[in-house]
Amino acid sequence: MTKTPLQFRHNGREVALFVDGGTNLLVVLREMLGDVTPKFGCGQGGCGACTVLIDGEAHLSCLTLAETVEGRAVETLDGIKTGPNLHPLQQAFAEGFAAQCGYCTPGMLMAAKALLDRIPQPSREQVVEAISGNICRCTGYEPIINAVLAAAASRRASA
Amino acid sequence: MLELRKDIFADERDDNLNEVGKGTQRQDMLGHVTGTSTYFNDHKLQGMLHLRVVRSAQPHARLRRIDTSEAERSEGVRRIIRGSDVPRNLNTLLSLINFGKDDEPTLAVDKVRYRGEPIVAVVAETPRAAAEAAAKVRIDYEDLPAVFDVEEALKPGAPTVNETYPKNTFIYHERYDHQKLRFGDVERGLAQADHVLEQRYQMSPIEHAPVETNGSIAAPDTNGRYVVYTSTQALFFSLDTCAKILDLPSNTFHFIGGTVGGGFGGKVDTLTEPLAILAAMLTGRPVRYVLGREEEMQFGPPRGAERIYIKDGVMRDGRIVARQIRGYFDSGAYTRLSSYAVVKCAAHLPGPYTIPNVHGDIYCVFTNRTPATAMRGFGITGIDFALECQMDKLAHLIGMDPMEFRILNAYRDGDMKAHRREAKNTALIECVQVAAEKAKWPMREEFRRMSSRKDGGGARAAVPSTPRETAATRPAPAQQRTSYDRGLSSPPLEPPPPPPQSPAPSSSHGATRFSSVFGTRRR
Ligand code: FES
Ligand code: FES
């Protein structure tokens, strides 16, 4: 099969590889780059576990053709800490019991990050809307929504 | 803040609880929020192959011919696995505790019994190559009549789903086609009752739908062993099941699990490990077998459907004097854990109430549906749903407050349960009182003063005489409409029911526990 060269920024680092036609971004991240923070839940856009940011916007990596991220910036949960310090969202999720099995958590956090980067002080409705494509079967959405709001509040306090 | 009612069991144990009521961080939380918790599928092994299963497109059919020749020639295919490659291609999960007969193949050979049943496994270099080859497997089905309804499955002449159990019911102790509970004389109780209410309840199958689908990766290790990363909720259970199916000592396998992406009971059935390991054995390479979302929904076992008939006799003063229950648990095409769910269900009758005449028949039925499995309180949830709906309807029928009605009939310490075990440590009355208080539900003073510790035992501790069985099972009764169903206003309120008789509470605390699966007592 012919391979296509692909180059993009992965969590701030320039990467280059060759992909088969039709390969999706989730496979590139997980299997080729070894970044397993985005998760496979359905492969059909139904669950949000594979959510990553492309140029700051939340996307489902399982439905994103790898070739379409050429030259763009892809951000995953693996890249949101600052050194050893947790991102305020990670802190708030941990403190607010916003994860149980943890499988939806990477996608949730990335969807939430896209929101806070765009709207630092969102309303509850905006949080609900932002994570509406992400399914959690364990925790229930209330602690997750509250954690996102708490992260926004903690940023305001420290700003 | 959580309020703990430590007074209720004060004489049962020391008050040494110092964690309950306080928030404690999960030990895996840091891993979860940083994405470093390792799920089975986060392992990438050198030279890993991918396994895909060809599944039955039919709910019930004979397999006339399985042609894998084209698939074998397909690009990237390393191995095709058939039922004849599986060392012991028949198993039942609870055989590990000696319960039930082997009734389920890893790969179907002569017949398929539900849609989605595995027939052939294809092992290939990439997921895509595996999927493409799987699509080239040709299966020639001879359709058989299928049955999807538990009561239809029990009718004479119904198609036999699973030849291990020709009558479509699980057989207990090699002779009983259902679980039976008899306590007192239910016919007499019903005849004496002021009102009789008969209802039919039905619960659909429920899919767990974990966000992580079921799967495993098996890889050859040194010393002829295999390491297995798996999503299982039941690590050693799965390990032993694989040892049996693959006919190898269990120390051949090193299972690694622990971080499960949501299970809820849907990851206890050892769905993927046997084939992943077998493929690793046959190819000498690591093999990954992970379910896609459709497979998870179709082939992943659900909570089984249940149908329950309840016929109750109740007095105008609120006492339930007879309860007759007939339940059908839809096991799907194979037993898995449903035989045990039925035992649990029967052990739960007649709910947490003291009723002098109880009669229960619960069946584990085979149909051409996806085999059912565990899910949060399976065996109990369905019957509780039915019983508590029935309690509301009964209360409505006699014009009594539903909370007070439950308190009136609740078992109390010292009462005799229908299983001929003394009730102890009961606390239903207190639960109802607290629930009513929290919900600001008005309740009369005398009900607020009642206690699980008072008024039990004595006459309520008696084992009533129980006639021997003769009658055959009757046909399904028609659904009886109640004013509750029609949403009419309550009938006029009756005078308050007499509080239960109050002899001295029994001091005996020697109740034994009943191990439901083995039918033995233990202290
Ligand atoms: S895996 Fe991408 S939406 Fe489910
Ligand atoms: S924590 Fe398990 S799916 Fe959300």
Q: How many CB atoms lie within 10 A of CB B511?
A: 15
For residues B340-368, give the mean pLDDT. Answer: 97
List the end-to-end C-alpha distance of chain B, in Å, as a whole number: 36
Using the predicted structure, report yes or no on whether residue B477 has a pLDDT greater than 80. Answer: no
* Residues A21 and A65 grouped into a single domain: yes
* Residues A53 and A92 grouped into a single domain: no
* Residues B47 and B133 grouped into a single domain: yes
For residues B494-520, give the mean pLDDT. Answer: 37
Residue span of the structural domain in which A19 resides:
3-79
At B275 the three-state DSSP class reads helix
Exposed/middle/buried for residue A115 (C-beta within 10 Å: 0-12, 13-18, 19+): buried
* Residues A17 and A73 grouped into a single domain: yes
Does the beta carbon of A139 sit less than 6 angstroms from any atom of ligand 2? yes
pLDDT at B1: 53
Please give the tally of structural domains in chain B: 3
* Residues A9 and A72 grouped into a single domain: yes
* Residues B394 and B262 grouped into a single domain: no
Q: Tell me the percentage of chain A whose pLDDT exceeds 70.
A: 99
Residue span of the structural domain in which B425 resides:
404-464
* Residues A31 and A58 grouped into a single domain: yes
> Which residues, listed in sequence order, are joined to residue B288 by a DSSP beta bridge?
B50, B217
Q: Which strands sit side by side in the sheet containing B138-143, from one edge to the other?
A: B111-112, B61-67, B138-143
Give the ligand whose atoms come closest to the C-alpha of residue A41: 1
Residues composing chain B: 523
- Enter the tokens of residue B290: 């992970």
Over residues B304-342, the pLDDT tens digits come to: 999 999 999 999 999 999 999 999 999 999 999 999 999
- Enter the tokens of residue A112: 């939430």
**Which of the four pLDDT bands, split at 50, 70 and 90, describes residue B16?**
confident
A33 interface with B at CB cutoff 8 Å: no
Q: How many CB atoms lie within 10 A of CB B57?
A: 13
Type and span of the H or E element at A142: helix A141-158
What is the distance between the alpha carbons of residues A98 and A102, in angstroms, rounded to a whole number? 9
* Residues B198 and B222 grouped into a single domain: no
For residues A113-118, give the mean pLDDT. Answer: 98
* Residues A73 and A27 grouped into a single domain: yes
Q: What is the DSSP string of B100-169?
A: S---B-SS-SSEE-STT-EEEEEEESSHHHHHHHHTT-EEEEEE------HHHHHSTTPPPS-TTSTTSB
Q: How many CB atoms lie within 10 A of CB B87?
A: 13
Residues 6+ apart with CB under 8 A from B490: B396, B399, B483
* Residues A11 and A75 grouped into a single domain: yes
Please give the tally of structural domains in chain A: 2
Q: What is the DSSP string of B398-453?
A: HT--HHHHHHHHB--TTPBPTTS-B--S--HHHHHHHHHHHTT----HHHHH--TT
The alpha-carbon gap from B261 to the nearest alpha carbon of chain A, in Å, equals 5
What is the distance between the alpha carbons of residues B463 and B510, in angstroms, rounded to a whole number? 17
Of all residues in chain A, the one with the smallest CA distance to B262 is: A101
* Residues B135 and B223 grouped into a single domain: yes
Does the beta carbon of A42 sit less than 6 angstroms from any atom of ligand 1? yes
Domain final residue pick, A45, A79, A113: A79
Confidence check on the interface: ipTM exceeds 0.95, yes or no: yes
Contact flag B259-A47 (C-beta cutoff 8 Å): no
Q: Note whether B391 and B480 are within 8 A (CB).
A: no
* Residues A112 and A147 grouped into a single domain: yes
Over residues B289-303, the pLDDT tens digits come to: 999 999 999 999 999
B480 against B329, higher pLDDT? B329
- Enter the tokens of residue B199: 């209802």
What is the distance between the alpha carbons of residues A31 and A28, in angstroms, rounded to a whole number? 6
Q: What CATH number did the domain enclosing B126 receive?
A: 3.90.1170.50
Among the partner-chain residues A39, A44, A99, the one whose CB lies closest to the CB of B212 is A39
Decide if B57 is inside a domain. Answer: yes
Type and span of the H or E element at B33: helix B29-34
Amino acid at B231: S
* Residues B58 and B70 grouped into a single domain: yes
Domain final residue pick, B254, B282, B298: B298
Query: Chains A, B: CB contacts under 8 A, how many?
Result: 93
Does the beta carbon of A52 sit less than 6 angstroms from any atom of ligand 1? no
Using the predicted structure, report yes or no on whether residue B518 has a pLDDT greater than 50. Answer: no
* Residues B272 and B379 grouped into a single domain: no
pLDDT at B513: 34
Across chain B, mean pLDDT equals: 90
pLDDT at B28: 96
What is the distance between the alpha carbons of residues B131 and B50, in angstroms, rounded to a whole number? 9
* Residues B67 and B216 grouped into a single domain: yes
Domain final residue pick, A58, A79, A100: A79
The alpha-carbon gap from B478 to the nearest alpha carbon of chain A, in Å, equals 38
Exposed/middle/buried for residue B359 (C-beta within 10 Å: 0-12, 13-18, 19+): buried
* Residues B95 and B193 grouped into a single domain: no
Which ligand 2 atom lies nearest to the CA of residue A108? 4
* Residues B310 and B394 grouped into a single domain: yes
Q: Note whether B32 and A89 are within 8 A (CB).
A: no
* Residues A50 and A98 grouped into a single domain: no
pTM: predicted TM-score of the whole model, two decimal places:
0.90
Q: What CATH number did the domain enclosing B312 receive?
A: 3.30.365.10
Gap from CA of A98 to ligand 2 centroid (Å): 9
Tokens 């780059």 appear where? A33
Exposed/middle/buried for residue B182 (C-beta within 10 Å: 0-12, 13-18, 19+): middle
At A101, phi and psi to the nearest 5?
-75, -25
Cα-Cα-Cα-Cα dihedral of B150, B152, B156, B162, to 10°? -50
* Residues B101 and B173 grouped into a single domain: no
Which ligand 2 atom lies nearest to the CA of residue A100? 1
pLDDT at B243: 98
Decide if B488 is inside a domain. Answer: no
pLDDT at B499: 42
